[in-house]
Amino acid sequence: MSRIRLKAHSPFAPSKTGCFSVAAALLASALAFTSPASAQSLSDKLMQSMGNDLRKLNPLNNQDRPVLKPENKIPQRTLPKPQDAPSPSGNANFDFYVLSLSWSPSYCADNGNRSNARQQCGTGRNYGFIVHGLWPQYDRGFPESCDHRQANDTVPRDIVSSLSDIMPSAGLMRHEWRKHGTCVGISQRDYFSTLGKAYQAVTVPPALRNVASPRNVDPQLVEKAFIAANPGLTGDAIAVTCNRRRLQEVRICMDKGLKFRSCGEVDRNSCRSRSVTLLPNR
C-alpha cells in the first residue's frame, strides 16, 4: 500500500525501523486471531515475547489476573466539567479523532534531561502509557493551529491537576490545546474533558502497564493485545509506532462520539519492525 502523509506530532514522530527476525509461526498465529481460543493463544505468545515474569498480568485470562488491593487500584479521575455553553473555535469540520498514547519510558530515554520533561521523566515518575494528545483528523490530512485568538491561552490549574496522572506535563497540555484543541470547535475545558473521556474509553492491557525490565516485543502482538482488551476495536482502527527500535506510541481512531472507527491513513503508518524494545517503567 502507498504511504499517505500523516502529520509528525513532535516530539513523537513515527518511524519505520529495520526488522528483527521473529519465528514465522508466531506471526501467523497473531494474524489468525479471530476467536476467544486464539485470543488465549495470542496472549500466551505476547507473554512469551515479553518474558514469563509478566504472565501473571495476562490481559485475556481472568483466572490469571491478580486481585488488586484497594491501594493498588487505578485511581478514578475527576474530569474537567464541560461548560454549559461551549464557545466554538476554529474549524470543527473534521472527520474523526486520533487518541495517541505514548509509552513514557521511550520518550524519557531521549528527552528526560530536558527541563520541560521533569514533570514526566523526573525521579519516581514511573509512567507507562500516557496521553500524548487527542487529534482531530480528516480522512486525508489534518487541521492544526486553527484559532490564533486562543493560541496563547494557558491551561487552568484545575484542568492540569485533574489530568496529571494521564498527561503529566502542563507544557504538553498547552501545546496540544494550541495545535490540536483549537481545531475541534469546542472550548478548552470541553476539549480536555473529551480527551479524558477518550482515555477512559480505552483499556490498556494489564501486561503493558507495569514492565519491570526491557523486553523485545512484536508490535503486531502489542496491537493484537489492545484489540483483545477492547471489544469493538479492529486492526484498521489502531496503529503501533516505533522509533529507534523502541516501542513509541499506540494510536487509536475514534469517531466524534468516541467509538472506535477505521482509519486507513493512520493504520498505514504502523511500525514495520518485527521486534522492538519495550523499555521498563518500573
Catalytic residues, by residue number, are 132, 176, 180
Ramachandran category for residue 118: left, alpha or beta (phi over 0 → left; psi -120 to 50 → alpha): alpha
**Is 68 exposed, middle or buried (CB count within 10 Å of its CB: 0-12, 13-18, 19+)?**
exposed
Query: In 10 A of CB 37, how many CB atoms?
Result: 9
Ramachandran category for residue 114: left, alpha or beta (phi over 0 → left; psi -120 to 50 → alpha): beta
Residue 1, C-beta contacts closer than 8 angstroms, at least 6 positions apart: 268
CA–CA gap between residue 252 and residue 226 (Å, rounded):
10
